[in-house]
Amino acid sequence: TSPCDRSVPATAGLSHDKWEIDPQELMLMEELGSGQFGVVRRGKWRGSIDVAVKMMKEGTMSEDDFIEEAKVMTKLQHTNLVQLYGVCSKNRPIFIVTEYMRHGSLLNYLRRHEQSLTSNQGLLLDMCIQIGKGMAYLERHNYIHRDLAARNCLVGSENIVKVADFGLARYVLDDQYTSSGGSKFPIKWAPPEVLNYTRFSSKSDVWAYGVLMWEVFTCGKMPYGRLKNTEVVEKVQKGLILEKPKMCYKEVYDVMRKCWSQLPETRPSFRVLKEQLVSIAQRLL
């Protein structure tokens, strides 16, 4: 092109989309399980970096919207957030490449280690604090998770816990998951304003965080036990809240209860929650 040719900007093609990963730099290994979007496999990126690769099953996700959002998500970086490294979006199925967490989901970890964890309230409180830090970071960036729960947190080495799949709920195409009447909607982690108007906010994440704290201090029990979703909706709207877990300090339960205020504006922010839990940990441990 001649220098005065204005049709093609001089930088065209030079801007490597840093969120785009070359699939040839990935080596896929064992299957880790399958989630809302299909199979997830362990892998190596550029020969040495441990990654998890979500291989998006066709029709499970609104892919173009997600690929646009991926540019924002790769910028969200915090020790307590599972890092999105990038996407392989040039062919189908698209791959979502994230950091790898060697101990898998927090829910399974709590259930598998119940014996050793029941006597270790300090560790349980520390897990809640770590998640609180990750969520306070998302709150600062006006980023809503929409499906915070122990099943959506992951455990790494040295008892590191991180929040995973934040914001992905917006791209799920399965309306059994997205509509509050659907069989896969996370009713037991949803506050009244989400049950009634699907009004998500950082304060609805705070409600879910309270339920997540209850999951941690019960080592992975199912909230509201065997109650059906319809019964939970009725009781939550009447103000019923989860009972104090047996091995949970009263001060910690008081923090959970604040997360379950009926009105979103009376719930504490993650910034305040994190400070309250850290000061309890310093006093009690």
Ligand X SMILES: CNC(=O)Nc1cc(-c2cccc(-n3cnc4cc(C(C)(C)C)ccc4c3=O)c2C)cn(C)c1=O
Report, as residue numbers or ranges, the catalytic residues: 147
Among 21, 52, 56, 129, binds ligand X (CB under 6 A): 52
Closer CB to ligand X, 34 or 116, in the complex: 34
* Binding mask of the shown chain, residues 15 to 34, with x at each position contacting ligand X by CB under 6 A: -----------------xxx
Q: How far is the CB of 171 from ligand X (least distance, A)?
A: 7
Among 19, 21, 26, 37, binds ligand X (CB under 6 A): 37
Does residue 165 touch ligand X according to CB under 6 A? yes
Among 125, 129, 172, 208, binds ligand X (CB under 6 A): 172
Restricted to residues 257-276, the positions that interact with ligand X (CB under 6 A) are none
Angle at 102 between CA 100 and CA 108, to 5 degrees: 115
CA dist 203 and 223 (Å) reads 19
Element (H, E) at 51: strand 49-55
CA dist 219 and 112 (Å) reads 9
Among 152, 201, 202, 204, binds ligand X (CB under 6 A): 152
Look up residue 117 and give its two tokens: 């964890």
Does residue 56 touch ligand X according to CB under 6 A? no
DSSP letters, 97-165, are EEE--TT-BHHHHHHHTHHHHHT-HHHHHHHHHHHHHHHHHHHHTT---S--SGGGEEE-GGG-EEE-S
Q: How far is the CB of 40 from ligand X (least distance, A)?
A: 4
User: If you ran DSSP here, which 8-state letter would residue 212 be given?
Assistant: H
Does residue 161 touch ligand X according to CB under 6 A? no
Q: Which of 195, 178, 193 is nearest to 230 (CA)?
A: 195
The footprint of ligand X (CB under 6 A) covers: 32-37, 40, 52, 54, 82, 98, 100-102, 104, 147, 152, 154, 164-165, 168-169, 172
